[in-house]
Amino acid sequence: MLSPEDEIRLRHMLDHSREALALVEGKARRDLYSARVLSLALVRLLEVVGEAAARLSQKTTSQHPTVPWSQIVSLRNRLIHGYDSVDLDILWEILAGDLPSLVRELERILADATD
């Protein structure tokens, strides 16, 4: 059972992840370099995903060990504190390789919580 606060945080993670995926749909890695507003938006969306993950209770994160919570929070920290050295190639790899599976996992967690 999720607390109301954790459910809200998971929904924030899901919504912002989906929005990031929608922004890169039909785009290529090189677009991150040529479209500054796109890269800035994606960085911000992933910062929110990480911040929401950081605010989840220990109970919720321990109940869902398949989600790489610490990596998500670490990404947020790197984006915030290393704002002047964001590697857009790594950002693209996260968007293309990791974010779709995170969305699926968050959808599953939230669906299970409402059953």
Summarised one tens digit per residue, pLDDT across range 53-80 is 999 999 999 999 999 999 999 999 999 9
What single-letter DSSP state applies at residue 25?
T
Rounded to whole angstroms, the maximal C-alpha distance in the chain is: 44
Q: What percentage of the chain carries pLDDT values higher than 90?
A: 94
Categorize the per-residue pLDDT at 97 as very low, low, confident or very high, splitting at 50, 70 and 90: very high
Share of the chain above pLDDT 70, in %: 100
CA distance 36 to 26: 17
| Residue range 7-26: mean pLDDT, rounded | 98
Which candidate in 16, 29, 30, 81 is catalytic? 81
Catalytic entry in 76, 78, 104, 108: 76
Sequence-separated (6 or more) residues with CB below 8 Å from residue 81: none
Residue 115 has pLDDT above 80, yes or no: no
CB 106 within 8 A of CB 2: no
81 flagged as catalytic: yes
Helix (H) or strand (E) holding 79: helix 69-81
Predicted TM-score (pTM) of the model is: 0.94
